[in-house]
């Protein structure tokens, strides 16, 4: 039994996330965690909310609540939605935790001791009306290049020109609308990432495969789990080499809400009233989350998962994230880990994803365009969404959600292939043999061929899951479902029964065992449907099928079962049209 540490990119606290956010990190991470548990491995699956920074303060102010209260409420909302989508976190933590505060300050002290932090005097825009320094994106004005009147302090969205706040004509605060702004001197801490450029380059290049493989015309990643996807390494190397290469990065901000800047438990002269930048403390929460897990009484010895001197040298650590998070996880966070000089566990594999677009455009949180997690669960159970999102995961390129494709996938894959098989088999058996696995007959040539085909199919499924190829895994699983349907059509027990009830009994016995097998294999993708199938088969045996022939004899003659309700209801054209209009760009 191997030990696997799994983390997914932690979602920001301000608001409910859309399906594109879900499929970019948390959902595929859950798929992998469930699969590994099913194979008998020990898994620690961690996630948390990312709670610090200006957006949290502004969202709280908009809601008319203290920021700590707002974050606590939104943590509960996101935790409930995670449960609704059956995300099987071992712990869902908070970056505002006491554990993360202490650990962030500890890392800062270690980096200071190593000479990897320097103080920088700089000027930033200060708003008198707001009583605060403003991040560049919270300043708007007229672009000096194109005249667009809503250019941000860092970039004009109209002409894409990179800007500084001082470049803007008539700048104003997006928080208060005030134009009473001035540039003020301030002092901040910078992480000397440039000093670690060579070490980071060597580490990243060690994760690259010199050549790629081609399978069915598609470039795929190599067998070796230590090699990262091309999407991950290409983004990391781009940041290392573009322009002047990896730059030093500010790790403090002039804000009220965040981890206070200290050297361990000691004050940091000149840094009074400042907090650590959210992208410094947020990744550290991955480690702190394990401490929270232990402190919550969910387990013990958290250090054995995170410190190589405490046993983590035998842990395989996998991160899941969207491509926009790759630079921070391949460069900034490793700078913190490596720069500390302490034996913390480094990530072994980073599974990164492209973007999921929505129905001819993009998801938009501000305009409410697309389906958000709470809305999705209002209209359909989580398995419907899990199946479509995972089977269309944006791995090699961006993918697009359309209602037509969603309807077709649910109706064909879930209702017609899997659901119909379960319904036909259980109802036919009940009508001819009762609600028990029938006795009589032996498995013949058709059954033996099916066992052989399934053995090959399951081996491929496991291989794709081990390599974290999400879409390919879904295709293999669907092929396993199809194989059962094709067998049922060829065997035709409803016809066989008229002439040879004994043979029909053997065919149905095999088919009932197939339902049990499908429940086990499908659990990582559609856990609720899996549980329904297991309950219908009156079984709590979730043993992974290392021997297909044995698995298809696990339910013996006389074993009682029940006919389940419809496993998956089809989506009608009327429903599809209603939902397409509802989620086209307005959110209450």
Annotated binding site: 143, 146, 156, 159, 365
Is there a contact between 117 and 191 (Cβ–Cβ < 8 Å)? yes
Cα gap 362→359, rounded to integer Å: 8
Lookup: tokens for 332: 């900034």
Annotated binding site for Zn(2+): 143, 146, 156, 159
86 φ/ψ sector (left φ>0, alpha ψ -120 to 50, else beta): left
- Report the alpha-carbon angle 239-241-244, nearest 5: 100
DSSP letter for 331, please: I
Cα torsion 322, 116, 52, 165: sign: negative
Lookup: tokens for 528: 């609720």
DSSP letter for 226, please: T
Annotated binding site for ATP: 365
Cβ-Cβ contacts under 8 Å for 492 (sequence gap 6 or more): none
- Report the alpha-carbon angle 87-90-95, nearest 5: 90
Cα torsion 449, 455, 458, 460: sign: negative
Give me the phi and psi of 422, to 5 degrees please.
Answer: -60, -45
Cα gap 448→443, rounded to integer Å: 7
Instruction: Count Cβ atoms below 10 Å from residue 90 Cβ, excluding itself.
Output: 18
Q: What is the DSSP string of 453-490?
A: HHHHHHHHHHHHHHTT-HHHHHHHHHHHHHHHHHHHHH
Cβ-Cβ contacts under 8 Å for 163 (sequence gap 6 or more): 143, 144, 151, 152, 153, 154, 155, 156
- Report the alpha-carbon angle 354-74-60, nearest 5: 105
């Amino acid at each position: 039994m191997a030990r696997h540490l799994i983390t997914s990119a932690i979602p920001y606290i301000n608001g409910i996330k859309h399906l594109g956010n879900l499929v970019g990190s948390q959902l595929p991470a859950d798929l992998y965690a469930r699969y590994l548990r099913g194979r008998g491995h020990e898994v620690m699956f961690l996630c948390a909310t990312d709670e610090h920074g200006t957006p949290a303060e502004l969202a709280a102010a908009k809601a008319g609540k203290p920021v700590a209260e707002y974050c606590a409420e939104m943590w509960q909302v996101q935790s409930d939605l995670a449960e609704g989508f059956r995300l099987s976190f071992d712990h869902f933590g908070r970056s505002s935790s006491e554990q993360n505060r202490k650990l962030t300050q500890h890392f800062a002290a270690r980096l200071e001791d190593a000479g990897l932090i320097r103080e920088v005097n700089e000027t930033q825009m200060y708003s008198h009306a707001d009583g605060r320094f403003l991040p560049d994106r919270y300043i708007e004005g007229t672009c000096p290049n194109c005249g667009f009147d809503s250019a941000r302090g860092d970039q004009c969205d109209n002409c894409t020109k990179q800007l500084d706040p001082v470049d803007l004509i008539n700048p104003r605060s997006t928080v208060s609308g005030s134009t009473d702004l001035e540039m003020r001197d301030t002092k901040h801490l910078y992480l000397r990432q440039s000093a670690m450029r060579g070490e980071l380059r060597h580490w990243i290049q060690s994760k690259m495969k010199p050549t790629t493989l081609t399978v069915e015309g598609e470039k795929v990643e190599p067998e070796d789990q230590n090699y990262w996807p091309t999407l991950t390494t290409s983004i990391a190397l781009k940041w290392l080499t573009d322009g002047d290469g990896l730059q030093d990065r500010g790790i403090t901000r002039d804000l009220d809400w965040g981890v206070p800047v200290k050297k361990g438990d000691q004050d940091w002269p000149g840094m009074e009233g400042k907090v650590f930048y959210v992208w410094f403390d947020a990744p550290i929460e991955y480690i702190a989350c394990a401490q929270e897990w232990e402190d919550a009484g969910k387990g013990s010895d958290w250090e054995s998962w995170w410190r190589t001197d405490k046993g983590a040298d035998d842990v395989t650590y996998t991160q899941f994230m969207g491509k926009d998070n790759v630079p921070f996880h391949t460069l900034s966070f490793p700078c913190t880990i490596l720069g500390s000089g302490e034996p913390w566990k480094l990530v072994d594999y980073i599974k990164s994803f492209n973007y999921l677009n929505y129905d001819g455009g993009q998801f938009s949180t501000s305009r409410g365009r697309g389906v958000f997690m709470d809305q999705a669960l209002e209209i359909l159970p989580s398995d419907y969404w899990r199946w479509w999102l995972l089977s269309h995961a944006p791995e090699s390129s961006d993918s697009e959600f359309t209602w037509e494709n969603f309807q077709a996938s649910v109706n064909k894959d879930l209702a017609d292939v899997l659901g119909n098989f379960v319904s036909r088999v259980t109802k036919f058996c009940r009508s001819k043999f009762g609600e028990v696995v029938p006795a009589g007959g032996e498995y013949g040539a058709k059954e033996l061929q099916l066992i052989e085909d399934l053995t090959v199919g399951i081996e491929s499924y496991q291989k794709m899951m081990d390599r974290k190829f999400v879409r390919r895994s879904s295709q293999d699983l669907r092929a396993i479902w199809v194989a059962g349907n094709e067998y049922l059509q060829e065997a035709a027990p409803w016809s066989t029964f008229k002439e040879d009830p004994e043979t029909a009994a053997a065919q149905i016995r095999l088919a009932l065992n197939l339902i049990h097998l499908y429940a086990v294999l499908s659990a990582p993708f559609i856990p609720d449907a899996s549980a329904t199938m297991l309950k219908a088969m009156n079984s709590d045996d979730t043993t992974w099928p290392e021997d297909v022939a044995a698995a298809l004899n696990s339910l013996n003659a006389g074993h009682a079962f029940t006919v389940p309700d419809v496993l998956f209801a089809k989506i009608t054209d009327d429903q599809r049209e209603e939902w397409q209009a509802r989620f086209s760009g307005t959110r209450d």
